[in-house]
């Protein structure tokens, strides 16, 4: 068995090869608020144990005449082979904002989200709502077995100085079948253009 841990610098070396395929009919351009893409990423971890990872990201936005936007997002993440604990991903991410701070990790998960936002003032202020769902296989530390989650609530967006977007989400989440409930609040500031 190969040793991939260097005792002199306490760093774990994990060699990998990755292939990515991106379908993007609307390339990123300044002023574009609409996303439409599918990204498929396959990663083969080559150091020590045989593990592979498949990730599929998808987005589809549509804008209506009144400047409102309907967004759909999806993320599928799957580890194959003899994966290590540090290769597992958090269930909480930009595709599912529920369970913040609960440290739920998984090697198999699928997230779906939908958001509708309408313009309150031109392109500067938006308000709306979102709903998200996730299905995952728990890694067995805090939870075990197949789990599902749902998260929903209001959202708001504010464009600052025509450059930055302040986004806020407030949500109510539920873990099924354990019936654990909670709330979450998330704010992020991104460079928009």
Q: Is the peptide bond before 177 cis (omega within 30 degrees of 0)?
A: yes
For residue 33, pLDDT over 90 is answered with no
Residue 10 lies in a domain: no
Q: How many domains does the chain have?
A: 1
pLDDT confidence band for 190 (50 / 70 / 90): confident
- State the sign of the Cα–Cα–Cα–Cα dihedral 184, 77, 116, 133: negative
Residue 5 lies in a domain: no
Mean pLDDT, the chain, integer: 86
Residue 9 lies in a domain: no
Residue 2 lies in a domain: no
Mean pLDDT value across residues 174-192: 90
Q: Which residue range is the domain that position 181 belongs to?
A: 16-191
Mean pLDDT value across residues 155-174: 91
Residue 87 lies in a domain: yes
Distance CA 42, CA 75 (A): 14
C-alpha dihedral (57, 62, 68, 71), degrees to nearest 10: -20
Residue 182 lies in a domain: yes
Specify the residue for token string 């979102």: 130
For residue 119, pLDDT over 80 is answered with yes
For residue 103, pLDDT over 90 is answered with no
Residue 11 lies in a domain: no
156: β partners? 127, 168
Cβ pair 58, 74 in contact under 8 A = yes
Residue 163 lies in a domain: yes
Mean pLDDT value across residues 37-47: 90
pLDDT at 27: 67
pTM of the predicted protein model: 0.83
């Amino acid at each position: 068995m190969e040793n991939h841990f260097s005792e002199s610098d306490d760093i774990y070396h994990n060699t990998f090869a990755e292939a990515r395929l991106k379908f993007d009919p609307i390339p990123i351009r300044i002023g574009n608020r609409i996303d439409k893409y599918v990204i498929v990423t396959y990663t083969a971890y080559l150091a020590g144990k045989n593990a592979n990872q498949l990730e599929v990201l998808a987005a589809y936005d549509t804008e209506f005449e009144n400047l409102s936007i309907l967004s759909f997002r999806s993320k599928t993440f799957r580890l194959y082979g003899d994966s290590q604990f540090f290769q597992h991903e958090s269930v909480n991410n930009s595709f599912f904002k529920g369970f913040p701070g609960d440290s739920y990790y998984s090697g198999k998960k699928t997230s779906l989200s939908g958001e509708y936002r309408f313009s309150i003032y031109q392109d500067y202020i938006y308000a709306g709502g979102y709903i998200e769902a996730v299905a995952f296989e728990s890694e067995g530390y805090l939870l075990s077995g197949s789990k599902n989650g749902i998260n929903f609530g209001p959202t708001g967006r504010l464009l600052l100085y025509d450059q930055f977007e302040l986004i806020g989400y407030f949500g109510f989440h539920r873990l099924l079948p354990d019936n654990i409930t909670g709330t979450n609040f998330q704010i992020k500031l991104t460079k928009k253009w």
